[in-house]
Structure 1
């Protein structure tokens, strides 16, 4: 909670105003038992009716004042808590945006969602509600204790004798319930992940008729969540009755011992009534202590998990003094690059010299390391050995945003936002002209199917592009990359879902865009045969390299792939002949 306090200090004025309003409310509340005592002693017992009107008026003013100041206090505490939680959520989200790819390789979307929503909301509740009650109760306890001693120090000591026991019970309660809430928070993230994955893959679930399996899997996680909450309920049910008993015992002692003092003439009836009112101000905080401790433990558990993420230092970030290339041409050089991920070498001793405007194609079996090569260019991962230079400057010496601004990437996993087609295509640019937009859509052949839609580019696609075919989604992704007009274009298996005619037309349009260095990852010979250099990768190593003609002449692995892919065409040709 110390780190949360730093956020609170930003809005210290906003917290100070409701705090002063709360103290004013408490001051008015502390006057009320005294006035009631005077009514009993001076008006009822002594018969001094001249004081009645002024005392009743004072009670009315106090009641109205309490209503006004409690409104100010509650409203502004809530506003201050909301502003603080918004800052925490923004900082958390911004920090997550800066984390590298390898962080997301080992964490679920559901867990991140849980941290940015539910856990931040618990801090909001803690700041806007619980902290206010904690401060209020401490002030009540302190001032009410002083008032008790001013009336009768013996009865005050008897009343306060129960407090250490209650404090010990409350601290034990907080320790146990804090551990439980950590487990509840973790399981909530697991539950969110199960729900998110199921909803994201609902079509696959239905296609394989696995609804019952998914329901049982979700119910299993839901049952764990229930068990942890049940464990928490058992702790609460164990400690809350003890706190309730001790708080009621305090009132019993006040009435019993105080009644004897009144009978013995050591206190007046009005003083006992006033003393009882102040004793209630002690009992009320103690009765709330269990609940406050419970909710505060939730807040602390959530804060711990949020700041655990925020403490992760990005291992890929801009250098303190970044270097800027003199000219942006798209010249990419790999010098003896090796890359290790999770203790295993993915790439070994890779060297590439992609001249500005040239096309480099990469082929290989699944898992051979093709995508890892292009991921290193934009520093989505950092190479373990060797160096990668873009326009003569090592990528590790360049400012990240500037480096990536010169890349246009079509990922292997096509992703579209739940937004209009137009906004999905314009995602990579701040602004663009209508001419450039239409050019990108025509070159990627997006315009071919958009023209048939009722509202055209204003058509809203579903989550992850649901509603479009695989080929249509790939064309939208290509249009998005082309519109960015970067000097380096990376196509990671970007045409795998397209028919050969559409693929050929898009390739021709991309080839006609001069001055762009292109990296093409593909499995089909038709997608790479026009490249200036083709690399064949196996187990992270370059086993063959050259252009299409030279590789066919060598009659090596590339030649074998060529024969395998084109044998059907040759067989059909022979049958026709």
Structure 2
């Protein structure tokens, strides 16, 4: 008969023997990841306990995308390209807008030319009126030479040549098509940008959840003794959601806003580098104001939500145990506790409103100051350099650089979401890569085809990973059972003794009565 026995030697190694051959297996040491211990705290200690410091370790930028396959990489590359085109759409719209302004200004010049005393008098001599020429500018073309000779060359049709050939409506029709094309392109690009990024993020998050859960399930039982299952569940839910946000459309939005900034600067430097440099000098304040407003608003909103969540948890706790609360008369105490936490939420809400108001005021001030500086210097350039800076070109450069600078501040929430995702991915990926001490999926080792016999345990002891100083073995278990049995016998004897004596006292009392 084959016999198998286990025992501990002097080095605390478990030695087992099968048919006379022995082998050694080291006692598994408890892992140290997520070691939370087994500490018992009450509600007051929980409320007074300081919050845990957030994890400052992050994974690399490309490591964040380690679960992306070829299709995901292709989708993300398409998303980057589409986001850059989407961001460049608004500066392109401003470019068309600047040329449109110049055409409208030339129309005003044409009307002013016709209403001058000399030209209006000349129109009367050739049986024309200002209104008729404005409706049909080409009718003046045949009289231009006569007008120039009559005024000794002081008034010519050179400045109004586009209007005389009816180019105004043709050019505006062309620009109208440009506007329609840009609008349709933005619809398609925006749809593709969100779709490809969200599709890629969903696919990667799905793989991360599967790998995380699969690796947690193959950990040895000692790992669960030293790690809080609630924290593992939080990793599975909250942290992977943060990774999903960092992999999703927020990256595309950041690329879009950065592309808008670069495209705006390119348009500005091509059409007017002097005005572009002046606007860029104040752009750091625009970026700071926009990013500060987004950061403070998000921070105060999170604090407000946490305060409301804390008050809500108290209400849920009380309502779920309402019978116990009423039995001990704790209604007033619980109401005061709920009011205190609700007051914190009110305080954060007021602070958020004040912060948003101050940030909005500061941002509006910077915007108005930018308008003031840009239009003053732009007007100066149109006077000093009329050949290089027209009114339409000045507006084009100003709005392209201004909107580009403002767009760069809007890119900060997406970059912040990516940073949060890298921080959350550090712990999640670390748990995914953790190799268990006892791997149930391992194919290595000796695997007997058949094994029959009796198993005998001798002097086997072990310790729980959460309590390494307390040894547990068969002897200790028997001692605990014996002590428990003695306690039970003692309690039963006490109860029997009280019953007998109480009965005797009752008989004595009854005989006296």
TM-score range, shorter chain: 0.5 to 0.7
Q: Report the alpha carbon displacement of residue 273 of structure 1 after superposing the two structures with TM.
A: 2.8
In the superposition, relative to structure 1, how do residues 180 and 147 fare at CA in structure 2: closer, same or farther (>3 Å)? Answer: same
Q: Report the alpha carbon displacement of residue 133 of structure 1 after superposing the two structures with TM.
A: 2.0
The aligned counterpart of 1:488 is: none
Q: Describe the SS at the equivalent of 1:537.
A: helix
CA–CA distance in 1 between the matches of 2:193 and 2:80? 7
Please give the per-residue CA displacement for 1:541-561, whole angstroms capped at 9, x wherever unaligned. xxx6xxxxxxxxxxx984674
Please give the per-residue CA displacement for 1:445-469, whole angstroms capped at 9, x wherever unaligned. xxxxxxxxxxxxxxxxxxxxxxxxx
Computing the radius of gyration from Cα coordinates, the structure with the larger value is: 2
Q: Describe the SS at the equivalent of 2:403.
A: helix
Matched, 1:537 2:484: no
The aligned counterpart of 1:246 is: 366
CA–CA distance in 1 between the matches of 2:308 and 2:445? 42
CA–CA distance in 1 between the matches of 2:239 and 2:308? 10
The aligned counterpart of 2:248 is: 128
Q: Report the alpha carbon displacement of residue 85 of structure 1 after superposing the two structures with TM.
A: 3.8
Q: What is the number of equivalent residue pairs in this alignment?
A: 373
Please give the per-residue CA displacement for 1:393-426, whole angstroms capped at 9, x wherever unaligned. xxxxxxxxxxxxxxxxxxxxxxxxxxxxxxxxxx
CA–CA distance in 2 between the matches of 1:22 and 1:163? 22
Q: Describe the SS at the equivalent of 1:346.
A: strand
The aligned counterpart of 1:6 is: 63
Matched, 1:54 2:178: no
CA–CA distance in 1 between the matches of 2:305 and 2:419? 11
CA RMSD of aligned residues (A): 4.9
The aligned counterpart of 1:279 is: 401
CA contact (8 A) 2:261 2:407 kept: yes
The aligned counterpart of 1:80 is: 200
CA–CA distance in 1 between the matches of 2:220 and 2:301? 27
The aligned counterpart of 2:189 is: 69
CA contact (8 A) 2:304 2:345 kept: yes
CA–CA distance in 1 between the matches of 2:342 and 2:299? 19
Matches within 5 A, 1:75-474: 75-94=195-214, 97=217, 98=219, 107=228, 109=230, 115-166=235-286, 210=330, 213=333, 216-217=336-337, 220=340, 241-264=361-384, 265=386, 266-286=388-408, 288=410, 292-293=412-413, 297=416, 300-301=419-420, 304-305=423-424, 307-308=426-427, 311=430, 317-319=437-439, 321=444, 324=447, 326-327=450-451, 331=455, 333=457, 335-339=459-463, 345-348=469-472, 350-351=473-474
Q: Report the alpha carbon displacement of residue 18 of structure 1 after superposing the two structures with TM.
A: 2.8
TM-score, reference length from structure 2:
0.56
CA contact (8 A) 1:33 1:278 kept: yes
Residue number among 83, 86, 91 corresponding to 1:25 in the alignment: 86
CA–CA distance in 1 between the matches of 2:352 and 2:232? 24
CA–CA distance in 2 between the matches of 1:254 and 1:279? 10
CA contact (8 A) 2:193 2:249 kept: no
Please give the per-residue CA displacement for 1:267-324, whole angstroms capped at 9, x wherever unaligned. 11221232233134314314535xx44x754664475356446546879632564555
TM-score, reference length from structure 1:
0.51
Please give the per-residue CA displacement for 1:2-57, whole angstroms capped at 9, x wherever unaligned. 45753546122222223322233344443322223333335751432333322222
Structure (1/2) with the larger strand percentage: 1
In the superposition, relative to structure 1, how do residues 92 and 59 fare at CA in structure 2: closer, same or farther (>3 Å)? Answer: same
Q: Report the alpha carbon displacement of residue 72 of structure 1 after superposing the two structures with TM.
A: 1.8
In the superposition, relative to structure 1, how do residues 189 and 246 fare at CA in structure 2: closer, same or farther (>3 Å)? Answer: same
Q: Report the alpha carbon displacement of residue 197 of structure 1 after superposing the two structures with TM.
A: 6.2
The higher relative CO (CA closer than 8 Å, separation ≥ 6) is in 2
In the superposition, relative to structure 1, how do residues 3 and 286 fare at CA in structure 2: closer, same or farther (>3 Å)? Answer: closer
In the superposition, relative to structure 1, how do residues 309 and 335 fare at CA in structure 2: closer, same or farther (>3 Å)? Answer: farther
CA contact (8 A) 1:28 1:62 kept: yes
CA–CA distance in 2 between the matches of 1:178 and 1:167? 17
Q: Report the alpha carbon displacement of residue 70 of structure 1 after superposing the two structures with TM.
A: 1.4
Matches within 5 A, 1:31-46: 31-42=92-103, 45=106, 46=162
CA–CA distance in 2 between the matches of 1:323 and 1:232? 65
CA contact (8 A) 1:114 1:192 kept: no
Q: Describe the SS at the equivalent of 2:438.
A: coil
The aligned counterpart of 1:385 is: none
CA–CA distance in 1 between the matches of 2:220 and 2:309? 19
CA contact (8 A) 2:314 2:338 kept: yes
CA–CA distance in 1 between the matches of 2:425 and 2:313? 17
Structure (1/2) with the larger helix percentage: 2
CA–CA distance in 2 between the matches of 1:78 and 1:237? 33
Any stretches of 5+ residues in structure 1 without a counterpart?
A: 353-368, 371-534, 539-543, 545-555
CA–CA distance in 2 between the matches of 1:176 and 1:39? 39
CA–CA distance in 1 between the matches of 2:367 and 2:62? 31
In the superposition, relative to structure 1, how do residues 166 and 60 fare at CA in structure 2: closer, same or farther (>3 Å)? Answer: closer
CA–CA distance in 1 between the matches of 2:102 and 2:488? 105
In the superposition, relative to structure 1, how do residues 536 and 310 fare at CA in structure 2: closer, same or farther (>3 Å)? Answer: farther
